[in-house]
């Protein structure tokens, strides 16, 4: 906490505190210690091991401290009481609006508890999350197009279940030193794909919160309505008269394909795994070539990619922003922009077919004399024998004949790299049956 009470019950900010004087927690009234050092923001703290009546965990980052200090002292760290429960709000404006700053970890449970507490008190809550690291590293990014649409690949754990906009909770994200955006529209999957049409500098954001919080709420609601006006009903008049077959395909449409995984079944027939037409998701190479016209040479992957799930009519007149794949190369989601609106198309996800070499060997009953494996992630082929498999436990390595897809040379005898990773499929085996 940054504000404690002195012996007279007066609020004292940490920057005004003096060593040698007594200060007390405003929640439990027990003495607190001055924490003034060169690393963390200056603050008050209870003695180690002491359990305060306030169960909430508060962010102690310099970022939070600096933001709270942008407000007048009279607004900072106000006590909110509801029946017998007391908590500290980062900032309280006009006894109507809570402003919370969060950089560190906060559980989903506590995030929800805080919002319920504020709502039951009749307060609106504005949350500002520091996501600068996510934005800088590309985990959160703006999609292409005129609208402010964003994809968040690995959502902050606190916000994973943030799936609904309400009139008592408003969310803002700080992207960099000069940019704060509002979250005004959510996809049905929540904040992993969201829209914003409200952008501030940190100074303007704080100023707007300080001067007239109701104006801030009005602006947000206006942006909600803005997105709602761009509904499919409104856009129908523009598209119904158009011949969709004449609309252009996205420049990156050729990137829409599933990577098929080649393997050898128990009858030593070559097959593909990942077929979207077959209920078992597997199909023989012969059936695939003769009965379906979805094999493609896109990106040079002759007879190894399938375009069955991606029809031209679904993507004409669209802009493909991002393609998500599972670990084995099959598409799980495509984010697009159509008629100025963000959409996403979800596709069926399959159970992984890959495994580590030893597990594949054992699953087949350990009745092989030799086998050949293919690493779908790294393009490595490996031929190994029963004797080499049996030496894994002893030497913690697997030796065999290896070759890389782009290599023009023959197989070379060496350690099999990554043999213990779940990246391999069986492509050939020679069986020797034992009684």
37, 159: one domain: no
121, 214: one domain: yes
Query: How many domains would you assign to the chain?
Result: 4
38, 116: one domain: no
Structure tokens at 240: 């119904």
Does 213 reside within a domain? Answer: yes
103, 186: one domain: yes
68, 158: one domain: yes
pTM for the whole structure: 0.54
131, 223: one domain: yes
75, 42: one domain: no
412, 265: one domain: no
Does 36 reside within a domain? Answer: yes
27, 102: one domain: no
Does 245 reside within a domain? Answer: no
Does 37 reside within a domain? Answer: yes
202, 269: one domain: no
Does 296 reside within a domain? Answer: yes
Boundary-marking domain end, from 285, 316, 346: 346
Does 421 reside within a domain? Answer: yes
Does 390 reside within a domain? Answer: yes
381, 325: one domain: no
Structure tokens at 221: 């609601």
141, 17: one domain: no
Boundary-marking domain end, from 17, 32, 53: 53
Write 110-116 long-range contacts (CB < 8 A, 24+): 110/56, 110/57, 111/158, 111/159, 112/161, 114/56, 114/87, 115/168, 115/169
Does 32 reside within a domain? Answer: yes
Boundary-marking domain end, from 318, 346, 374: 346
Tell me the residue range of the domain where 4 lies. 1-53
- pLDDT tens across the length of the chain (435 residues): 888 899 888 999 888 888 889 999 988 888 888 888 777 778 888 888 788 888 888 887 889 988 998 888 889 999 999 888 889 999 998 888 999 999 988 899 999 999 999 999 999 999 999 999 999 988 998 886 656 788 898 899 999 888 888 888 899 999 998 899 988 888 777 898 888 877 888 888 888 887 655 666 665 555 555 455 444 433 443 444 456 667 888 888 989 998 887 766 666 677 887 788 887 777 888 788 777 778 776 555 544 788 889 988 889 888 888 899 888 888 988 988 877 667 778 888 887 788 899 998 888 766 778 888 988 888 899 999 989 998 988 888 999 999 987 677 788 999 999 999 998 888 888 776 443
């Amino acid at each position: 906490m940054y504000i404690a009470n002195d012996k007279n019950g007066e609020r004292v900010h940490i920057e005004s505190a003096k060593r040698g004087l007594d200060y007390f927690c405003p929640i439990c009234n027990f003495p607190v210690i001055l924490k003034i050092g060169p690393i963390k923001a200056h603050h008050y703290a209870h003695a180690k091991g002491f359990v305060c009546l306030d169960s909430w965990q508060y962010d102690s980052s310099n970022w939070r401290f600096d933001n709270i200090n942008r407000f007048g002292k009279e607004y900072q760290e106000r006590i909110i009481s509801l029946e017998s429960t007391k908590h500290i709000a980062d900032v309280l404006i006009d006894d109507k609006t809570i402003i919370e700053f969060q950089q560190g970890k906060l559980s989903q449970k506590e995030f929800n508890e805080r919002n319920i507490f504020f709502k039951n008190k009749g307060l609106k809550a504005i949350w500002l999350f520091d996501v600068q690291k996510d934005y800088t590293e590309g985990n959160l990014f703006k999609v292409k197009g005129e609208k402010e649409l964003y994809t968040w690949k690995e959502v902050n754990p606190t916000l994973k279940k943030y799936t609904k906009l309400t009139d008592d909770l408003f969310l803002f994200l700080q992207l960099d030193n000069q940019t704060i955006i509002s979250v005004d529209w959510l996809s049905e999957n929540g904040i992993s794909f969201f829209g914003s049409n409200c952008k501030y500098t940190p100074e303007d954001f704080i100023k707007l919160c300080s001067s007239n919080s109701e104006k801030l709420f009005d602006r947000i609601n206006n942006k909600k309505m803005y997105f709602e006006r761009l509904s499919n009903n409104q856009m129908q008049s523009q598209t119904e008269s158009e011949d969709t077959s004449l609309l252009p395909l996205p420049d990156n449409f050729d990137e829409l394909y599933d990577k098929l995984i080649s393997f050898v079944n128990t009858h030593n027939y070559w097959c593909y795994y990942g077929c979207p037409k077959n209920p078992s998701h597997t199909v023989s190479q012969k059936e695939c070539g003769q009965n379906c016209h979805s094999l493609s040479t896109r990106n040079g992957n002759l007879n190894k990619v399938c375009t069955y799930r991606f029809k031209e009519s679904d993507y004409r007149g669209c802009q493909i922003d991002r393609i998500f794949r599972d670990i084995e190369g099959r598409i799980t989601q495509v984010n697009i922009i159509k008629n100025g609106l963000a959409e996403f198309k979800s596709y069926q996800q399959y159970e992984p077919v890959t495994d580590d070499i030893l597990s594949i060997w054992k699953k087949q009953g350990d009745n092989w004399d030799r086998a050949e494996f293919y690493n779908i992630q790294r393009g490595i082929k490996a031929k190994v024998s029963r004797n080499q498999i049996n030496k894994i436990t002893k030497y913690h390595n697997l030796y065999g004949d290896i070759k890389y897809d782009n290599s023009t040379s023959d197989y070379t005898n060496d350690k099999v790299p990554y043999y213990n990773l779940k990246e391999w499929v069986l492509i050939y085996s020679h069986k020797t049956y034992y009684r």
